[in-house]
Amino acid sequence: MPAILLTLDSDQPKDGIASYLDAQAAIDRTGFFRSRWLVNGEVAAGSDAWLLVNGVHGGGLTGHGSVTSATNNDKAVLVDVGALRTRGEHIPFAELTNRMPGVLWNPYPATGTHLAEAEAAALRDLWSEYVGPVAEDPTSPAPGSLPQEAIRRVGVNRYERDPQARRECIAHHGTSCAACGFSFGTAYGALGREFIQVHHIVPPSQLGAGYQLDALTDLVPLCPNCHAMAHLRTPDPYTAAELRRIIAAAGHVDGSIVSDEELAAQEAAARILEAGSRDAHST
The Cα–Cα gap between 279 and 180 comes to 45
- pLDDT at residue 139, rounded to an integer: 53
Whether the Cβ atoms of residue 238 and residue 259 lie closer than 8 Å to each other: no
| 12-22 per-position pLDDT tens digit | 544 455 577 77
The Cα–Cα gap between 50 and 145 comes to 11
- pLDDT at residue 13, rounded to an integer: 45
The Cα–Cα gap between 165 and 169 comes to 6
Q: What is the mean pLDDT of the chain?
A: 78
Whether the Cβ atoms of residue 64 and residue 127 lie closer than 8 Å to each other: yes
Tell which wins on pLDDT, 89 or 18. 89
Based on C-alpha coordinates, what's the Rg of the chain? 25
The CATH label, of 3.30.70, 3.40.50, 3.10.590, 3.30.200, for the domain at 3-141 is 3.10.590
Per DSSP, 31 falls in state: S
Question: With pLDDT > 90 as the criterion, what percentage of the chain qualifies?
Answer: 8
Q: Provide mean pLDDT across the span 188-197.
A: 87
The Cα–Cα gap between 237 and 228 comes to 10
> Residue 246: is its pLDDT beyond 50?
yes
> Residue 204: is its pLDDT beyond 80?
no
> Residue 209: is its pLDDT beyond 60?
yes
Torsion of CA 239, 151, 188, 256, to 10 degrees: 40
| 119-169 per-position pLDDT tens digit | 888 888 888 888 765 444 555 555 565 555 554 544 556 677 777 888 888
| 17-66 per-position pLDDT tens digit | 557 777 877 777 667 788 888 887 788 888 888 988 876 667 889 888 88
Q: Provide mean pLDDT across the span 79-91.
A: 83
Domain spans of the chain, in order of start: 3-141, 158-249
